[in-house]
Amino acid sequence: MSDRVTSTTAFGSQSPNSLAHQLAAPLPEFPPEDPTLARTPVTYSTHHRAIGMHLRFETNDPRVHAAAFDSFGPFIDPDPAIPNALIRIFVHHVDEEPGFRPRQPLVRSHGGTFWIAASRSSVVSGNVWTGEVTGFVSETIASNLDYLRTAFVQSAFLQIAQPRSLVAVHSACLARDGRAIMLRGDSGAGKSPLAYAALRRGYSLVAEDVIFLCSRSGRTDGIIPPDDIEIHGLPWTMHLLPDAADLFPELALHPAFERPDGRLKLGIRIADSFPGQALPHAPFGPLVFVTRSNLTAPRLSTLSRPEALARLESTAIHYERDEHDEHAIWDAFLSHPAYLLETSSDPHANAAILDDVV
pLDDT > 80? residue 4: no
The candidate with the shortest Cα–Cα distance to 325, out of 157, 172, 207, 213, is: 213
Q: Is the CB of residue 335 less than 8 Å from the CB of residue 309?
A: no
Task: Write the pLDDT tens digit of every residue in 154-165.
Answer: 999 999 998 888
The residues with which 210 forms a beta bridge, in sequence order, are 170
Q: How far apart are CA 238 and CA 227, in angstroms?
A: 28
Task: Write the pLDDT tens digit of every residue in 207-248.
Answer: 998 898 887 776 666 566 777 888 999 999 999 999 999 999
Q: How far apart are CA 63 and CA 144, in angstroms?
A: 9
- Selecting from 3.40.50, 2.60.40, 2.60.120, 1.25.40, what CATH number does the domain 167-356 have? 3.40.50
Residues 261-272: what's their mean pLDDT? 88
pLDDT > 80? residue 101: yes
Q: Is 188 left (phi over 0), alpha (psi -120 to 50) or beta?
A: left
Decide: helix, strand or coil at residue 137: strand
Residues 6 or more apart in contact with residue 218 via CB below 8 angstroms: none
Q: Is the CB of residue 11 less than 8 Å from the CB of residue 18?
A: yes
Task: Write the pLDDT tens digit of every residue in 294-345.
Answer: 899 999 999 999 999 888 887 776 656 554 555 567 777 788 899 999 999 9
* Backbone dihedral angles phi then psi of residue 246, each to the nearest 5 degrees: -70, -25
Q: State the average pLDDT for the chain.
A: 86
The residues with which 207 forms a beta bridge, in sequence order, are 173
Of residues 18 and 315, more confidence is placed in 315
Of residues 141 and 3, more confidence is placed in 141
User: Which of the 8 DSSP states describes residue 262?
Assistant: S
Of residues 27 and 291, more confidence is placed in 291
Residue ranges, CATH 3.40.50, the chain: 167-356
Residues 250-276: what's their mean pLDDT? 88
Q: What's the pLDDT band for 3 if we cut at 50, 70, 90? A: very low
Q: How far apart are CA 240 and CA 172, in angstroms?
A: 13
pLDDT > 60? residue 150: yes
* Backbone dihedral angles phi then psi of residue 338, each to the nearest 5 degrees: -125, 140
pLDDT > 90? residue 12: no
Helix, strand, coil fractions of the chain, as percent rounded to 5: 30, 30, 40
Q: How far apart are CA 305 and CA 1, in angstroms?
A: 84
Kindly report the number of other CB atoms within 10 A of residue 179's CB atom: 15
Number of H helices, E strands in the chain: 11, 20
Q: DSSP string of 71-101?
A: HH-S-BPPPSSPPSEEEEEEE-S--PPTT--
Percentage, residues of the chain above pLDDT 70: 87
Q: What's the pLDDT band for 1 if we cut at 50, 70, 90? A: very low
* Backbone dihedral angles phi then psi of residue 191, each to the nearest 5 degrees: -65, -40
